[in-house]
Structure 1
Amino acid sequence: MTLLTSRPGRVAALLAAVALVASGCAKGEETAAAPSGSSTQGGQVVRTPAADAGAGCTLDAFGAQRFDLRSAVVGFSQSEKEANPFRIAETKSIKDEAAKLGIANLKVTNAQSQFSKQISDVQQLIAQGARLLVIAPLNSDGWEPVLQQAAAKKVPIITIDRKINAAPCKDYLTFIGSDFVEQGRRAADQMAKALGDKGKVAILLGAPGNNVTTERTSGFKDRIKEVAPDIEITFEQTGEFAREKGQQVTEQLIQSNPDIDGIYAENDEMALGAVTALKGAGKKAGDVQIVSIDGTRGAVQAIADGWLVAVVESNPRFGALAFETAQKFLDGAAIPEKVIISDREYDKANAESSLSEAY
């Protein structure tokens, strides 16, 4: 599979061709690279809109006033420390696209993985006069104080990567991100293939309290039951999406389940932590089959080195698509409540040749 990750030359050309996916995209739809009926926006492939697409959210329906993105205060709230390659690439994409579009008043905050700080960060952005907010939420719940303040000033909110549990076109404008259930299903397919449909598997769960962890877990488990009922999930523990925690949990796993056959890590950082733990325990590449999600360069290199079997990408380059969506909204177009992108996969067949495309 291939994904068009190069950035388009002109945003104006993209705006003419954009076809945003509507809410209600069917779960389980095959995510292929630039499939027929999909559109490429901001370097990300957006899935075909559902046939029952609703009207979407317009400027009038939201109650906002039109403004010029280039001169307005725009706030971006990052949730986690930028030690994780996903977050580094995500923030860089927002900053780069803002600079490209001439957005002079971009204000960027980082919550350092503290939810209370992210809430106060966004409240401060609103107090500083932000007309648009792009938020990468740490948690899905607990956003009521922010949503109330934003609604009072009719500030549209675009969430990226993770969802917030609130009402679209009322509390926020739209969510842009991957189909996390489908990511889990695709990881399960890779695990079943690697294990020959039987064996014992551990899950390194992501951080609790957000939809990414919940959906990647349910997608994996449900798919394993469908395609490989002889695979037994014998261990589950959160690694909090962190490399160090993934290593610690895997060290515990090796002690309690020395006969483990596979590890499903819900992001690459935990997978790489697991590799460190396996090496420390004297394991060799291939002794334990590891499948993860993200698509970082370190994980793709680990496939080439034999330590990982496959990685399902979760594309973090949201900058162009986020600002394209905002501009369409300001121009009067109807924006769906979800903009779902398609992600590629890396495996032994393409890891070395695709390394430069990873982040």
Structure 2
Amino acid sequence: MQLVRGKYCIISLLIFVIAMLGGCQRQERQVSQDQVKFVIGVSQANLIEPWRIIMNEEIREEAAKHSDVRIVFTDAVQNSEKQVRDVGELLQQGIDLLIISPNDSVALTPVVAQAYKKIPVIVLDRAVEGYDYTLYIGPDNKSIGREAGKYISELLNKTGGNVVEIQGPSGVPSLQERSAGFREVIGKYANISIIDTIVADWQRDKAEDKMTELLDQYPKIDVVFAHSDYMALGAYKAAKKKGLTGIKFVGIDGFSGPNGGLQLVEDGVLQGTFTCLTGGREAIQYALDILNHEKGLPKKIIPRSNKITLANVLEYVKSTNEVKKNNPTSNRRIVLGFSQLGAESDWRRANSQSIKTAAREADIELIFLEGDQRQETQIRDIRSFIAQGVDVIAFSPVIESGWTEVLEEAKAAGIPVVLSDRAIKSNDASLYASFIGSDFVEEGRRAARWLVGQKKDTQQQNIVEIEGTFDSAPALDRKKGFAEIISNYPENRVIYSASGDFTEAGGQEIMKSALALYGNKIDVVYAHNDDMALGAIKAIEEYGLRPGKDILIVSVDATEAAFKAMLAGKLNCTVECTPLLGPQLMQAVKTLMMGRQLPMRIITSEGVFPAETARKDHVNRKY
């Protein structure tokens, strides 16, 4: 009853709250309490930044499409303590779901975790620490910075030049990442210098004032890179007042409307901008999926950033605003070509079955080929898909590098490509539409966190790490994430590491070699997948030791075989890496065929399963 009364209180005060905190100027339509099914609380870090005002407006517009949804906004006015109180008050009022854009990632982590224990939580823009939330939607700031750096290096071409960087508030981790990515690229060019940095706190007037001062100090400035279009406009105004016309201005945000980045590019004020979606509209869409208990929802959404220049701004505006009247696939089945890297493990076989089942249920014609863990076979398969003229190509790459040429061929043929399970290394992000899969780095972190949580003293632990296929994304990232956490605990030391190629036989062979060298001095085995852990178990038993007791074993995948090993006391923990990517892949294919852009990365939701809870957790497993 308390929850219901809380909802009624919210509804009765809704008009006042939206007017005062959301800045809404429109008259709200009166709706009876019986029509309200869900009340969503939005905790905003501030309403000073134009970017956040637009985020709120997108949330409001998307929610308005649903008569049974009500939104309550709060504004933390850049104060983390106030935002903690705001979240507490929203929870007391009985909201069904919380959307929060944190003022400070670290400071807001505890209250987000607290809210997550009670209701679903969607985090926007700035990620909190850990995984205690339902969904995160936010940009890859370092990638955006890198892309801006590449573009500005192209603008300056071989002549080089002087660059001024205009940043938002100092000390914000996401903005530090953006700047780091930018400087990483610019630092490669000896003839390009970042001569000064302005901190303008997202304000146009502040950027204009500081740029005016800087122009007196530096008469030769070639490019200004601002972390928002709004600040770039302020810098432009300063240059215009002084009659300077040779400076190029580049921003970030790419919003539509008057003085939005798209209009500024079209008008020639900005040389270019990089889109940085707020995620507000998507937050409401996913909130309703969460509240309606839809299946297969992701854990993280990383929107794509688009480079917008005068050459493509009109095309971009048209593609984002125009609803396609003619769907070319409306009268026929969509054809998807999928190249699977192989059938090397239980995980991979479950992944293949998920894709086949989902395609059948979605009525998508699937051409499914296996690459036998050979890149040349997969490249041949992708070229066959291009020749057949499929609508979409998806593949799980056996290794990260070496795909540029064939993906350029797919792009030239107008066929979008989706990466499934494994990512690739590429300097051209336009070669693929999206990546759907796991956060492999976080899986490595989770394995390490479980391990350090098992030991209460500081006695040294010797670790054998059995890696996956050389140069594959999961092997590289799981190693990186594990090392990142372990580095904080010097008593944990990896004494032996080698590739078991993600196979049981490979894991057994590597473990035999490690035991021959170190014998009973080995305390822990960290395997990059369950199959290799199962192989290690065999080698340990053959050596005369007890797996799971004499040697702790933690692995990644959470397959049926891993649960059986935990129930038998031979495996201590498995970190989930779900193979059930089929439904999300088919949804992505349909989205592409509707002419819509996919997020850059769609990260699946996963858990950690220790042996102590294996019997209970095993009941709900599907693979």
TM-score by length of 1: 0.84
Report what 2:436 is aligned to: 176
CA contact (8 A) 2:375 2:399 kept: yes
Post-superposition CA distance 1:268-293 (Å, at most 9, x none): 11000000001111112411000000
Between the aligned partners of 1:43 and 1:78, the Cα distance in structure 2 is 24
Between the aligned partners of 2:609 and 2:491, the Cα distance in structure 1 is 25
Match of 1:153 among 396, 413, 438: 413
Between the aligned partners of 1:74 and 1:25, the Cα distance in structure 2 is 35
Question: What amino acid is aligned across from residue 589 of structure 2 in structure 1?
Answer: A
Stretch of structure 1 that moved more, 130-139 or 323-332: 323-332
1:291 aligns with 2:551: no
Report what 1:189 is aligned to: 449
Between the aligned partners of 2:354 and 2:125, the Cα distance in structure 1 is 27
The alpha-carbon distance between structure 1 residues 42 and 94, as it changes in their structure 2 partners (threshold 3 A), is farther
Query: Unaligned 5+ residue runs, structure 2?
Result: 1-65, 67-98, 100-121, 137-282, 308-315
CA contact (8 A) 1:56 1:337 kept: no
Quote the offset at 1:73 in angstroms: 2.4
Question: What amino acid is aligned across from residue 284 of structure 1 in structure 2?
Answer: R
Question: What amino acid is aligned across from residue 90 of structure 1 in structure 2?
Answer: N
Report what 1:200 is aligned to: 462
Between the aligned partners of 1:167 and 1:176, the Cα distance in structure 2 is 19
The count of aligned residue pairs is: 333
The alpha-carbon distance between structure 1 residues 131 and 167, as it changes in their structure 2 partners (threshold 3 A), is farther
Residue correspondence of structure 1 range 37-116 to structure 2 within 5 A: 43-49=295-301, 60=319, 67-68=328-329, 71-80=333-342, 82-103=343-364, 105-116=365-376
Post-superposition CA distance 1:199-229 (Å, at most 9, x none): 1111001111122111100110110112x22
Larger C-alpha radius of gyration, 1 or 2?
2
Report what 1:131 is aligned to: 391
Stretch of structure 1 that moved more, 133-142 or 167-176: 167-176
Quote the offset at 1:56 in angstroms: 6.6
CA contact (8 A) 2:433 2:597 kept: no
Quote the offset at 1:66 in angstroms: 5.2
Quote the offset at 1:145 in angstroms: 2.7
Post-superposition CA distance 1:301-347 (Å, at most 9, x none): 11121111111000111111011122223324332111112211111
CA contact (8 A) 1:32 1:343 kept: no
SS at match of 1:323: helix
Match of 2:606 among 343, 355, 358: 343
SS at match of 2:487: helix
Report what 1:241 is aligned to: 502
Between the aligned partners of 1:302 and 1:329, the Cα distance in structure 2 is 41
Quote the offset at 1:102 in angstroms: 1.4
More helix by share: 2
Between the aligned partners of 2:412 and 2:450, the Cα distance in structure 1 is 47
Percent of pairs identical after alignment?
A: 27
Question: What amino acid is aligned across from residue 583 of structure 2 in structure 1?
Answer: A
The alpha-carbon distance between structure 1 residues 208 and 345, as it changes in their structure 2 partners (threshold 3 A), is same
CA contact (8 A) 2:301 2:599 kept: no
Between the aligned partners of 1:284 and 1:132, the Cα distance in structure 2 is 49
SS at match of 1:31: coil
CA contact (8 A) 1:33 1:342 kept: no
Quote the offset at 1:60 in angstroms: 4.4
1:313 aligns with 2:576: yes
SS at match of 2:507: helix
Quote the offset at 1:244 in angstroms: 0.1
The alpha-carbon distance between structure 1 residues 164 and 199, as it changes in their structure 2 partners (threshold 3 A), is same
Report what 1:163 is aligned to: 423
CA contact (8 A) 2:301 2:603 kept: no
CA contact (8 A) 2:468 2:499 kept: yes
Report what 1:31 is aligned to: 131
Between the aligned partners of 1:280 and 1:67, the Cα distance in structure 2 is 60
Question: What amino acid is aligned across from residue 229 of structure 1 in structure 2?
Answer: P
1:271 aligns with 2:533: yes
The alpha-carbon distance between structure 1 residues 201 and 193, as it changes in their structure 2 partners (threshold 3 A), is same
The alpha-carbon distance between structure 1 residues 333 and 180, as it changes in their structure 2 partners (threshold 3 A), is same
SS at match of 2:450: helix
Question: What amino acid is aligned across from residue 418 of structure 2 in structure 1?
Answer: I
Report what 1:4 is aligned to: none
Between the aligned partners of 1:43 and 1:334, the Cα distance in structure 2 is 22
Between the aligned partners of 2:348 and 2:301, the Cα distance in structure 1 is 28
Quote the offset at 1:24 in angstroms: 8.6
CA contact (8 A) 2:464 2:524 kept: yes
The alpha-carbon distance between structure 1 residues 123 and 29, as it changes in their structure 2 partners (threshold 3 A), is farther
CA contact (8 A) 1:77 1:108 kept: yes
CA contact (8 A) 1:97 1:320 kept: yes
Question: What amino acid is aligned across from residue 253 of structure 1 in structure 2?
Answer: A
Between the aligned partners of 1:99 and 1:189, the Cα distance in structure 2 is 39
- RMSD (CA atoms): 3.0
Q: Say which structure, 1 or 2, has more relative contact order (CA 8 Å, 6+ apart).
A: 1
The alpha-carbon distance between structure 1 residues 24 and 164, as it changes in their structure 2 partners (threshold 3 A), is farther
Report what 1:118 is aligned to: 378
Quote the offset at 1:23 in angstroms: 12
Quote the offset at 1:55 in angstroms: 5.6
SS at match of 1:44: coil
Match of 1:328 among 578, 588, 591: 591
The alpha-carbon distance between structure 1 residues 109 and 246, as it changes in their structure 2 partners (threshold 3 A), is same
CA contact (8 A) 1:244 1:270 kept: yes
Question: What amino acid is aligned across from residue 108 of structure 1 in structure 2?
Answer: F
Quote the offset at 1:349 in angstroms: 2.7
Quote the offset at 1:44 in angstroms: 3.2
CA contact (8 A) 2:503 2:532 kept: yes
The alpha-carbon distance between structure 1 residues 55 and 113, as it changes in their structure 2 partners (threshold 3 A), is closer
